[in-house]
Amino acid sequence: MRNIFNFFRDKLRLYPGSKSVLLIPVSALLVLVTLFSLPNASTDDNSVDLPQQVIEAQQTEDTEIVQETDKSDKTESAGLSESPSVIGSTADPNTATGSVLEVHFIDVGQADASLILCDGKSMLIDGGNSADSNLIYTYLKKRGVDHLDYIINTHPHEDHVGGLAGALNYASVGTAMGSITEYDSRAFSNFVSYLEKQNRSITVPKAGDTFSLGSADVVILGPIRNDENMNNNSIVLKITFGKTSFLFTGDAEREEEQDILEMEYDLKSTVLKVGHHGSETSSSYPFLREIMPEYAVISVGKKNSYGHPHESVLSRLRDADAKVLRTDMQGDIVFTSDGETVSYTVTRNADVDTLGTLSETTPISQAKPESTPTPTTTPTPSPKEDQNEDKTEISFVLNTNTKKFHLPHCASLKRMSEKNRKETGLTRDEIISQGYSPCGNCKP
């Protein structure tokens, strides 16, 4: 390199007039020689040698960015796992670690109401009859649920939509879902009115829609199509939390069950909320074979006029080897999942034979009260005159002053004034229809 430079310098001294002529080729030649003489030069303009410390730091930073991006994607997306094993499952069951899912099947008699809690998020699926508004109000209040991220009315029949007004009277709501937006009934109109007070309206989801509730994933499975039978327009959904799952079927009957089966969803679930209160028109063998539930919960009223749950349904559930739980026999039923396994508690009669009929001779005093008392603060209408005072069997004790009714063994009776005490043989539903609400201590 030095020799080449000296050569051109000597020529310029001999021919001083050639300086301008030789300047351009000399400069170009010097640049080319310099480039080819560099020891680690690369033809890749984007390739730059960096000190090892800088490379390691850059790799660490890149790794952190990727991890943060993955975390952000999981947080912002309600997308489901691509694994075909369970619809709505999280990509990694360990994502549920440290979290707990609670599913409350609330005893609302011949009706449906379920409260789902996960990671501080909440969802209410149906709310029982209009007469259950106070019960739902109190149930939410007791548990401090003053905001519902989701409220879902599976279909507009009163035994599913009626008590949602009570829920909205206590709690605010983020998103409301329903199978339809208009229905000619007072109960449904009340639901819509309370939503409007919160500037909310009903969203009608489509099969395949998904969303998250804390660490749990929710997928809408039905209805697939509109049906003249409103029961077959029920919203059917599955909640997946880690390796556990819960299937809610509203009042879906065989026709909607078949529609869902034809979609070839993976319906396998840990817990099934049995369709239509155990009606013979629901819970078909093909449907149950796909679900294969470990537990089956029937929300049903004691000695109801429909004959629910039907013996044929109990037989199918027996054949499916599902553990059957019933609100008419056991009161509120609460499942807890850690993402790996589920456990449950009931208000009373933990060991009752749920595959049989409710015994006429089972002493009501055997009922197990809930451990935490529930004070009720909302007013209720005045009761009507008791038309059945001549009944000799005492099923409940009324407090005519507070408009509460109790089990005969309730500890609260010790503080009740005799002038306000009234014993009755009426059924639970009959008492509620007269404006009474259940005691929060003994949970009759």
CATH of the domain at 110: 3.60.15.10
Q: Which domain holds residue 400?
A: 363-444
Note whether 85 and 98 are within 8 A (CB). no
Q: How many CA atoms lie within 13 A of 61 on its CB side?
A: 6
The pLDDT-based confidence of 28 (bands split at 50, 70, 90) is: low
When mean pLDDT is compared across 155-164, 206-215, 399-408, the lowest value belongs to: 399-408
405 and 320 inside one domain: no
198 and 273 inside one domain: yes
If you average pLDDT over residues 262-266, what whole number do you get?
95
- Comparing 381 with 297, the larger pLDDT belongs to 297
Average pLDDT over residues 120-124: 98
Which candidate, 413, 364, 420, places its Cα nearest to that of 393?
A: 364
Q: For residue 245, is it within any domain?
A: yes
Q: 17 and 111, same structural domain?
A: no
pLDDT above 60 (res 303): yes
Question: Which residues, at least 6 apart from 409, have a Cβ–Cβ distance to it below 8 Å?
Answer: 365, 367, 442
Which of 205-214, 232-241, 293-302, 426-435 has the least mean pLDDT? Answer: 426-435
Is residue 65 domain-resident? Answer: no
Give 58 or 297, the one with higher predicted confidence. 297
| Of 80-89, 200-209, 275-284, 407-416, the least confident | 80-89
Query: Same domain, yes or no, for 216 and 231?
Result: yes
Q: Which amino acid is at 226?
A: N
Do residue 313 and residue 380 come from a single domain?
Answer: no
Last residue of a domain, one of 362, 390, 409: 362
Same domain, 236 and 369: no
Q: How confident is the model at residue 29, as a pLDDT?
A: 56
The pLDDT, as a whole number, for residue 32 is: 55
pLDDT of residue 1: 52
Residues 327 and 405 in one domain: no
Residue 415 lies inside a defined structural domain of this protein: yes
pLDDT of residue 216: 98
Mean pLDDT for 6-10 is 53
Distances (CA, A) of 238 to 51, 91, 166, 415: 54, 16, 25, 45
Tally of domains in the chain:
3
Say whether pLDDT at 369 is over 80.
Answer: no
Q: Is the peptide bond before 309 cis (omega within 30 degrees of 0)?
A: yes
Residues 398 and 293 in one domain: no
CB 406 within 8 A of CB 396: yes
Over residues 3-32, mean pLDDT: 50
Of 151 and 80, more confident: 151
Q: What is the mean pLDDT of residues 339-345?
A: 97
Final residue belonging to a domain, choices 362, 379, 395: 362
Average pLDDT of the chain, as a whole number: 78
Residue 407 neighbours by CB distance under 10 Å: 23
Asked if 165 contacts 190 with a C-beta cutoff of 8 angstroms, the reply is yes
pLDDT value at residue 107: 98
227 band by pLDDT with thresholds 50, 70 and 90 = very high
385-397: average pLDDT: 51
What is the reported pLDDT for 356? 75
Residues 357 and 370 grouped into a single domain? no
Instruction: Output the pLDDT for position 97.
Output: 61
User: Both tokens of residue 40?
Assistant: 């680690």
On the CB side of 36, CA atoms within 13 Å amount to 7
State how far Cα 240 lies from the chain centre: 8
pLDDT at 391 over 70: no
pLDDT digits (tens, 9 = 90+) for 58-68: 444 343 333 33
Percent of the chain with pLDDT over 70: 69
State how far the Cα of 170 lies from the Cα of 117, in Å rounded to an integer. 17
Q: Is residue 66 part of a domain?
A: no
CA nearest neighbour of 399 among 390, 410, 391, 388: 410
Q: What is the pLDDT of residue 53?
A: 38
Q: Is the pLDDT of residue 381 over 70?
A: no
pLDDT at 370 over 80: no
Where does the pLDDT of residue 430 fall: very low under 50, low under 70, confident under 90, or very high at 90 and above?
confident
Is residue 64 in some structural domain?
A: no
Residues 136 and 174 in one domain: yes
- Identity of the highest mean pLDDT range in 343-352, 373-382, 413-422: 343-352
Average pLDDT over residues 356-372: 39
Confidence (pLDDT) at 358: 44
Flag whether 80 is in a domain: no
Decide if 84 is inside a domain: no
Q: Are 150 and 292 within one domain?
A: yes
Residue 200 lies in a domain: yes
pLDDT band of residue 431 (cuts 50, 70, 90) is confident
3-state secondary structure of 340: coil
List % helix, strand, coil for the chain (3-state, nearest 5): 35, 20, 45
When pLDDT is averaged across residues 316-344 and rounded to a whole number, the result is 97
Domain co-membership, 335 together with 390: no
